[in-house]
Structure 1
Amino acid sequence: MIQIGDVVVSFDVLREKFLCDLDACQGICCIEGDAGAPVELDEVEKLEEVLPLIWDELSPEARTVIEEQGVVYTDCEGDLVTSIVNNKDCVFTCYDDKGCCYCAIEKAYREGRTNFYKPISCHLYPIRVGNYGLYKAVNYHRWDVCKAAMLLGQKENLPVYKFLKEPLIRKFGEDWYAELELVVEEMKKQGIL
C-alpha cells in the first residue's frame, strides 16, 4: 500500500489491469449484486434533483420503488445505497434495444441535461473507497461479472488507476492524482511495480 495525504491506496489498484468491455458484459454491474450502489450523503439531493429529468426513461417498476422508498435506502450493513428493483437492477438502470444496461443519470449528463455524472461509487468502480476515521482506503474490488474487463485491461495493459483517472480526480483532486502518478513512476524505477 502507498499513502498520499489521508488516502491509502492498495497495490492492486496500481498493478491490476482493467478496461470495461460493455459489449461483453452488457452493463451487468448495474444489475447484479445484493444491494444498490453506495451513495454519499451529499449525493442524495443530487439524485433527487436529476430524477425529473430522467423519470420517463426509468422502468415502471423503478418508478414504483422510488415512489415507495425513495432513491436510496440503508442496506443490511448500514450503508446508504441506491434503491433497487426486485433485489436486482439499480432504479437508475435503463436498457437499449440490444439489451445493454446503461445508467439513465450518466446518459442525461452526456446529453448535457445535468451536471451530475452519477454517484461517485459507480464512477469509480471497480475501486471501492472505505472511510476509516483519519484516512480513506482505496481498494480494487474483484467481481467475476467483470472478467471481460480484466481480460481487456490485460490486453491493453491498462492499470486500474489509469482506467479510472477521471473519477479518481473527481474524488480526490488533480493534485492528488498527479502525486499518485509520480509515486507510481518512482516505484517502477525501483522495481516495486
Structure 2
Amino acid sequence: MIAIDNKLISDEVIEEQFVCDLTKCKGGCCEDGDAGAPLENWERKEVDKALAIVKPYLTKEGLKAVNEQGNYTYDREFGWVTPTVNGGICAYGYKGKDGVIVCTFEQAFNEGKIGWKKPLSCHLFPIRITTSKQDPDVEYVNYQPREDLCGGGCSLGKQLKVPAYVFLKEAIIRKYGEEFYEALDATAEHLKRG
C-alpha cells in the first residue's frame, strides 16, 4: 500500500501491467456492470451541459433511457451514475461499425465540441476509487480489472511492459493533478530500484 496525501494506493496500481485492448474487449466495461458509470458530484453539471451536444449521437434506445431515467440516476451502492439501456449498455454509448462501444461524450470531446472528456470513473478504469466509510477524506485507489473483459488488456500490458498507472497517466492527472502523479511515479521508480 502506498500513501500519498489522503490516498491509499494498492501496490497493484504500479506493479501490474495493463494497456486497454479494444480489439479484444470491444469496450465491454461500458455495458457490463451493476449500474451505469459512477459520476462525481461535479460531473453531473458536465453531463447537463454536454447533453444537447451529444444527443444527436445517442441511439434511439439511449435517448429513451435518458428521457425516462434522467441525465443520471442515483444508485444506492455507487451514488450518481449514468443511465443504462435495460440495465446493459450506458445510455451515452453506442456500438461502432467495428463493434467497439463509442462514448458520445468522448466523441464530442475529440471533435472539439465539449471540454469534458468523459466520466472519470470510465477514464480511470480498471482503477476503481472508493471512499473510506470511517473517514470520507480518505480514498482507496485499487487496480481491479475484470477477469472476463480485461484479459486482453492485461496481456497487452505485459507484452508492452507498461505499468497500469503509466497507461492511465492522463486519467490520474485529471483526477488528482500533476503533483500527485509525479509522486506516484517517483514512488514506483524508487520501489523498482529498491
TM range (shorter): over 0.9
Residues in 2 aligned to 1:126 and 1:48: alpha-carbon distance in whole angstroms:
26
1:171 aligns with 2:175: yes
Gaps in structure 1 of 5+ consecutive residues: none
Q: Secondary structure at the match of 2:142?
A: strand
Q: Secondary structure at the match of 1:84?
A: coil
Conserved? CA contact 1:165–1:177, under 8 Å: yes
Structure 1 residue 6 displacement after superposition: 1.1
Q: Secondary structure at the match of 1:46?
A: helix
1:140 is aligned to 143
Conserved? CA contact 2:38–2:78, under 8 Å: no
**Divergent runs of 4+, >2 A:** none
Map 1:33-48; keep pairs closer than 5 Å. Answer: 33-48=33-48
Quote the sequence identity (%). 38
Residues in 1 aligned to 2:89 and 2:157: alpha-carbon distance in whole angstroms:
26
CA RMSD in angstroms, aligned pairs only: 1.1
Structure 1 residue 33 displacement after superposition: 1.3
1:80 is aligned to 80
Structure 1 residue 11 displacement after superposition: 0.3
Given the two structures, how large is their TM-score scaled by the length of structure 1? Answer: 0.95
Gaps in structure 2 of 5+ consecutive residues: none
Given the two structures, how large is their TM-score scaled by the length of structure 2? Answer: 0.94
Residues in 2 aligned to 1:78 and 1:51: alpha-carbon distance in whole angstroms:
22
Conserved? CA contact 1:71–1:91, under 8 Å: no
Map 1:19-34; keep pairs closer than 5 Å. Answer: 19-34=19-34
2:62 is aligned to 62
Conserved? CA contact 1:109–1:115, under 8 Å: yes
Q: Secondary structure at the match of 1:137?
A: strand
Structure 1 residue 78 displacement after superposition: 5.2
